[in-house]
Amino acid sequence: MRNFAKSLAAIAAVSALTLTGCGREEAAPSADGETAAAGFEAGSAIGVALPQKTSENWVLAEELFNEGLTEAGYDPDVQFANGGVSEQQNQISSMITNGVKVLVVGAIDGAQLGTQLQQAKDAGITVIAYDRLLTNTENVDYYVAYDNFQVGELQGQALLDGMKAAKPEGPYNIELFAGSPDDANAKVFFDGAMSVLQPEIDNGNLVVVSGQETFDQVVTQGWKAENAQKRMDNLLSGSYSSEELDGVLSPNDTLARAILTSVDGAGKPIPVVTGQDSEVESVKSIMDDKQYSTINKDTRALVEHAIVMVNDLQAGKELEINDPDSYDNGVKTVPAYLLEPQIVTKENAAEAYADDETLAPLTQ
């Protein structure tokens, strides 16, 4: 498990500043022009609804929220919905009934919580979308996440850079993978990557040999490794009996490893494969010259800022927003605070993970 003592100390420090009103103003205006409630009592219950445990970062978030919220003086209720959307719906309803003051939601499917979010609104609960945008509802107040379009841009550029390093002259044969269609982030990652890759496809420098280029053609239901591996098996047998595969756009580390397993099983040369999340096994793979890249989205920093937002709400202070206009969820534009992701390859891994007790030793 990652060392997050520094993050908890940082949260406590920011809490002290927040509760004294340093650098904040009273009564934060919401996106619809209404004024936020002027705080709530210390020690209140805070609900955190997390999705299924599909990556190491979600597991880490659970522990960080429990420890960080407790350290800041709250009563945390942090739950995973491994049983699916209906379980998450029930968990959120239970949190509302139990009187949470803030609801932090990492949704399985951000479009399937409308009834529960209306219940939260009716109960006067502030809703923060965490990592994944809540869509098709007016009842979400804030969004905190890494810049997911930028994540895709970094992945697309890493794919180009890695292939050029391996083979200076194109054209390059590639295949595209995207995440689960019920995750609002999946399309954003893909669109970011395609903003870099599509011009190269259009000019013939990149060739998607399978012809599968649209988001709907390349999704991976449930972000499940077995689904990615099966699709990669089919792509290799159907399109690469005589062609060489130069690169694969993978949206995260779990799928990247599944893709590499498929390539290895087919006895093919290792292509350039991207990823995301800085999972332990993928960092090892990068250092072993297998997976080419990942994205460092430090969960400690993301949870820390979510708790800063809770602290500001508790004190009735204005929340810091650095992207007020970009995140239209289909009904409203959700005020967002975005953190900056970092591309990681073997070349910069030691620097990127220098303060991570788990990952730093892997880069030596």
List, for residues 81-108, the tens digit of each pLDDT value: 999 999 999 999 999 999 999 999 999 9
Residue 213, domain CATH: 3.40.50.2300
Reduced to 3 states (helix: H, G, I; strand: E, B; else coil), residue 32 is: coil
Position 346 in a domain: no
DSSP string, 224-288: -HHHHHHHHHHHHHHH-SSSPP-EEE-SSHHHHHHHHHHHHHTTPPPPEE---S--HHHHHHHHT
Position 329 in a domain: yes
Position 363 in a domain: no
Residues 281 and 308 reside in one and the same domain = no
Mean pLDDT of the chain: 91
Residues 213 and 162 reside in one and the same domain = yes
Residues 39 and 88 reside in one and the same domain = yes
Residues 153 and 215 reside in one and the same domain = yes
> Residue 74 belongs to what domain range?
5-140+298-340
Residues 287 and 325 reside in one and the same domain = no
List, for residues 1-59, the tens digit of each pLDDT value: 344 333 444 434 434 333 333 333 343 444 443 434 469 999 999 999 999 888 888 99
Q: Please indicate, yes or no, whether the overall pTM of this predicted structure exceeds 0.85.
A: no
Domain count, the chain: 2
Q: What's the CA gap between 92 and 148, in Å, rounded?
A: 25
Residues 128 and 175 reside in one and the same domain = no
Position 353 in a domain: no
Residues 245 and 282 reside in one and the same domain = yes
Residues 86 and 152 reside in one and the same domain = no
Position 37 in a domain: yes
| H or E element, residue 310 | helix 299-315
Position 347 in a domain: no
Residues 243 and 166 reside in one and the same domain = yes
> Residue 260's beta-bridge partner residues?
none
Residues 162 and 120 reside in one and the same domain = no
Residues 241 and 273 reside in one and the same domain = yes
Residues 163 and 237 reside in one and the same domain = yes
- What pLDDT score was predicted for residue 38? 60
